[in-house]
């Protein structure tokens, strides 16, 4: 299997597990807040959900970056 596809597959599995754990973890969260966009606001979401999804999205986008470090 191509290394890039293998890396994306592992990243997708890891982030899916994190997302499932995030849903289990925010069941009893009572601190809710709205996220302000430029045009309008979102519904009230738990702060832990906003922070967790931001982390997971960053992890997904970071898996697309390839670092070519050559030690010559």
Overall average pLDDT of the 13-32 stretch: 83
Gap between the Cα atoms of 22 and 58, Å rounded: 15
Residue 50 has what pLDDT?
Answer: 81
* Residue 2, domain member (yes or no): no
pLDDT at residue 36 above 80?
Answer: no
pLDDT at residue 20 above 80?
Answer: yes
Gap between the Cα atoms of 12 and 44, Å rounded: 27
> Domain count of the chain?
1
Overall average pLDDT of the 8-13 stretch: 86
Gap between the Cα atoms of 64 and 21, Å rounded: 23
Residue environment code for 17-33, b if the CB has 16+ CB neighbours within 10 A, otherwise e: eeeeebeeebeeeeeee
Residue 63 has what pLDDT?
Answer: 80
Query: Is 22 within 8 Å of 56 (Cβ atoms)?
Result: yes
Confidence of residue 44 (pLDDT cuts 50, 70, 90): confident
Domain that holds residue 23: 15-27+45-61
* Residue 57, domain member (yes or no): yes
């Amino acid at each position: 299997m191509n290394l890039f596809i293998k890396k994306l597959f592992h990243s997708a599995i890891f982030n899916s597990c994190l997302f499932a754990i995030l849903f289990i973890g925010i069941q009893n969260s009572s601190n809710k807040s709205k996220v302000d966009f430029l045009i309008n606001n979102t519904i009230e979401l738990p702060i832990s959900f906003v922070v967790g999804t931001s982390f997971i999205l960053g992890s997904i986008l970071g898996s697309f970056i390839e670092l070519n470090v050559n030690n010559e």
